[in-house]
């Protein structure tokens, strides 16, 4: 069995120029937690997940660098969590997304797909054919397909 046998062909995506606001709206409205980011040629250029967003808002400090001395970092965000979250909504998603995207070819064997999902601790893998996005596979897809004939 290969990736194309179990992948979902309808993939919710974002464009590399979209804002975090539009991605969060897709997460909420579509009930998803991650999606591939594509360019105008349907090439996968990044991936963004709820984990990427959590790491960004959890660690990010809004700072400015004093250009006179090049070493002084001045904290400028003391407004709290809600203010920090509000400020990042208009960022372009390419600013916080994962640039190194785990993906598989449409003819990848399912055992290899399972290995990547399990060993890399990721939830979904974009599937590409000839360099273009053609589908997506989740851990649930692999489990359902792998065990359905055995139960």
pLDDT for 61 equals 55
Domain membership of residue 143 as a residue range: 3-147
Q: Residue 79: pLDDT band by 50, 70, 90 thresholds? A: low
Query: Against a cut of 0.85, is the pTM above it?
Result: no
For residues 94-106, give the mean pLDDT: 87
Sign of CA dihedral 123, 119, 128, 43: positive
CATH number at residue 25: 3.10.580.10
Residue 68 clears pLDDT 70, i.e. is over it: no
Q: How many domains does the chain have?
A: 1
Q: Residue 95: pLDDT band by 50, 70, 90 thresholds? A: confident
Instruction: Read off the tokens for 61.
Output: 């400090």
pLDDT for 47 equals 93
The per-residue pLDDT for range 9-66, each reduced to its tens digit, is: 999 999 989 999 999 999 999 999 999 999 999 999 999 998 888 877 776 455 444 4
136 exposed, middle or buried (CB, 10 Å; 0-12, 13-18, 19+)? buried
């Amino acid at each position: 069995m290969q990736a194309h046998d179990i992948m979902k062909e309808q993939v919710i995506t974002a464009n590399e120029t979209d804002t975090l606001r539009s991605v969060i709206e897709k997460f909420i409205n579509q009930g998803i937690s991650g999606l591939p980011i594509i360019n105008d040629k349907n090439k996968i250029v990044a991936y963004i997940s709820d984990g990427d967003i959590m790491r960004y808002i959890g660690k990010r400090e809004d700072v400015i660098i004093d250009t006179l001395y090049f070493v002084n970092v001045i904290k400028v965000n003391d407004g709290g969590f809600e203010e920090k979250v509000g400020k990042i909504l208009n960022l372009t998603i390419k600013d916080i997304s994962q640039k190194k995207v785990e993906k598989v070819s449409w003819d990848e064997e399912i055992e290899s797909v399972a290995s990547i999902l399990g060993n890399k601790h990721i939830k979904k893998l974009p599937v590409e054919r000839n360099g273009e996005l053609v589908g997506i596979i989740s851990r649930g897809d692999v489990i359902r397909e792998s065990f359905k004939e055995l139960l």
